[in-house]
Structure 1
């Protein structure tokens, strides 16, 4: 066995912790960024949130000169480019000693009263749940303790849609009662509001509703009991033939069945409002669209001047203390720089999108042009992966509404006139076309294709079918309705 020394020259892309942090911040949503910044403020004594907006001219110039040059970008960092030292990078600040009195008392934010006023949350009413609504009815019904105990078990196994998820046998094991007693209590609960609650399947749910409104023994009950599968597939002539009735009589029954509620618990759904805070605003000013970053709610950071002074001067710090502060100082600088880089990249991407989609902002979704990540990356001289990270979980507020940045990226379809059309605008055209169709004679995929070709859009029938399925629109045969 020989021992050899092998020397090789190679290049490797090394992801430093600082670079990883910059990339991570780039793809965070606004809310996630706020959380990261607040965590950094807690862990790093060097970092401080800017309170005062006043700043000397020299300090403002110092900040501007310390900003990252436009030629630097995260994409450049990803390619292994060197990072310039960040000495002197500071956000603008006023006199530190003046800030300890800025508690906003002179602005009237604090009331000079002892009485504690209720919060907004305390004034809100809480809607009752399906479970609470059923328990309330159970307690009002004439019943003994055993019926209430079984009833609570049954109600506890009803899902949010109003369906019973446990079998009678399982409830017998849970309550230690007889099957006859379980069925007795189940029948009681099935008479509660909302109609159809505690059903075990769709057929039973619809039958419970029909019987409560007095249609027992009618054609409507027969259709639900025996021909529900044909009804779901809209095989109305087949149903009429089997029942020996006319289509006019069947149409009347169908209108009643279509008004039934397949999910009795729907009215008790709890919908939490989802609030979207845009990262970018696009406004029209003097005929031009301007891109503005939304910095509302994001803390503005600066270097704590006291620690900065301690590091610059001869403050008698030991080697361990100085090393700790220097490490935190570098971490703070990287945090500030990464946020600045993130803002700059978002601004560039948004500006490129606005420049490419002027017709969309002026006229709407039908004028959305094909746009890819590569197109924007080439325009702003950044890597495609950087653009992809920026568009993740970012929203833009425009005159046409609030959209995710990814909304503007879609492939294109050729037009007869040589121009291209966004696939998203084609989907919108298909959706509107189907919305306005005659329900008795819905458009087939072939007819939709021919309509689009008449509007100079080259598209195949299978592509129409693909877009229709993506829009969750059923086929023409499933959309057809019996209208008399």
Structure 2
């Protein structure tokens, strides 16, 4: 072929650095955004924290949310009787994780402080403190300490005594019999059941610590010999093997259910994670209003001193950083503007949920919100992921309000969330002696015009962590 020159005219979409940053900030959670801003603050001397200014209402108006800003002012002036109960909203910007949670704290009350102090004590520290009060020989004390170190977080001894004896230095010449004696000392410590090597032994230790009576004796027999039958709620075979009647078995069952199969779990350190909602929903004068949470909005600004210097010195090396700082502030404001617009559209469509709960949740898909706001569906997906809304009913991820739907006899659709709420209501109201099967639940929903297959009911029930009908049956 003969070489030649050709001229082609093509088009392609190029993402500017500013647009790339805007997309990145949009998909970050509040915590991730805070970490991202920290890196910008450390790298760009023109950016600084501003702890004195409030939410930039003027900027939000420019973004087309003037109504939300005016609604915020109306909300502050609204009468408490019209605004509803705001006990779920803390004065310090904290939010309750569930609806209706409120409480007061007395500065002179030390009970809360004591609870916090007790919760910080580990299982190991709790057991060693008791060991120090026991009159044991130094060798026995060391062996008990070794067993304490071998416990897991639930208080169980997962290794056999032979394995523990083999793992210790040979020069100590420790026999398994010595460890058995040390284990007996350990199993007499608080909490009762600690040092057990199986759930059966753990429950048996707790029952043995109770006063002797017929119920305790029957419960001990069931735990040691028929615990599997009890776990499967096979009450006829239990009565056959133990020779007890319904009342005796019911009392023994209640006693066993009151025991703690994980005695060490109460001393385990809990990894508590707090969520800062991006938007707050309140009912004002009969209407649901959405506002940006000021505690989630980053307080950053351009350093005025550097900005004045740059205005007098053209061509300075900091000019590019000044432009980056302006981009960042503008993109952060645009991020919250987009989140607010999406949240308002969600609340507009899910007002029945806010008024009546999960049973009133309507079907909603990302495309519906995208078409309403003139945004791409991928943008709505980014906005609703790891962004949270504080409502009087609790704190929810924005993605929670979207879900699949099931057809109804009337030709409409019912949200999967509403169906799960109906299933939960029916099961909570069922007779313990005659629990509803998945087929019966499907029939009841069918009578209400909601067509749901039995296998779908089973899937929703398992998602709610509700056991099957045979495990819900009681005497």
TM-score (norm 2): 0.80
Q: Is the 8 A contact 1:237 1:247 kept in 2?
A: no
Q: Secondary structure at the residue paired with 1:39? A: helix
CA-to-aligned-CA distance 1:379-415 (integer Å, 9 cap, x gap): 1111111111111111112233322211111112222
Matched, 1:341 2:314: no
Q: Is the 8 A contact 1:153 1:175 kept in 2?
A: no
Query: Which stretches in structure 1 are left out of the alignment for 5+ residues?
Result: 55-59, 71-119
Aligned to 1:178: 175
- CA apart distance, 1:126: 4.8
CA-to-aligned-CA distance 1:445-475 (integer Å, 9 cap, x gap): 1111111122221211111111001111111
Q: Secondary structure at the residue paired with 1:440? A: coil
Of 103, 117, 140, 1:125 maps to: 117
Of 184, 187, 193, 1:187 maps to: 184
Distance 1:186 1:7 in 2: 87
Matched, 1:386 2:379: yes
Q: Is the 8 A contact 2:278 2:293 kept in 1?
A: yes
Distance 1:397 1:20 in 2: 29
Aligned to 2:355: 362
Aligned to 2:284: 285
Aligned to 2:45: 45
- CA apart distance, 1:260: 1.9
* Range with greater deviation from structure 2 (12-21 or 419-428): 12-21
Distance 1:410 1:2 in 2: 60
* Range with greater deviation from structure 2 (32-41 or 449-458): 32-41
Larger Rg: 1
Q: Is the 8 A contact 2:153 2:264 kept in 1?
A: yes
Q: Secondary structure at the residue paired with 1:403? A: strand
Superposition map of 1:59-458 within 5 A: 125-127=117-119, 128-176=121-169, 177-214=174-211, 218-271=217-270, 273-296=272-295, 298-313=297-312, 315=313, 322=316, 324-458=317-451
Aligned to 1:76: none
How many residue pairs get aligned? The number is 420
- CA apart distance, 1:8: 6.0
- CA apart distance, 1:346: 0.3
Distance 2:6 2:166 in 1: 74
Distance 1:4 1:257 in 2: 89
Query: Which stretches in structure 2 are left out of the alignment for 5+ residues?
Result: 66-109
Aligned to 2:464: 471
Distance 1:155 1:170 in 2: 15
Distance 1:441 1:122 in 2: 45
Aligned to 1:105: none
Q: Is the 8 A contact 1:25 1:33 kept in 2?
A: yes
- CA apart distance, 1:286: 2.9
Distance 1:247 1:148 in 2: 46
Q: Secondary structure at the residue paired with 1:264? A: coil
CA-to-aligned-CA distance 1:414-456 (integer Å, 9 cap, x gap): 2223332211011011111111111111100111111112222
Q: Is the 8 A contact 1:49 1:301 kept in 2?
A: yes
* Range with greater deviation from structure 2 (288-297 or 226-235): 288-297
Q: Is the 8 A contact 1:47 1:303 kept in 2?
A: yes
Q: Is the 8 A contact 1:293 1:343 kept in 2?
A: yes
After superposition, the Cα gap between the structure-2 partners of 1:4 and 1:396, relative to the gap in structure 1 and judged at 3 Å, is same
Distance 1:8 1:222 in 2: 88
- CA apart distance, 1:307: 3.0
- CA apart distance, 1:302: 2.9
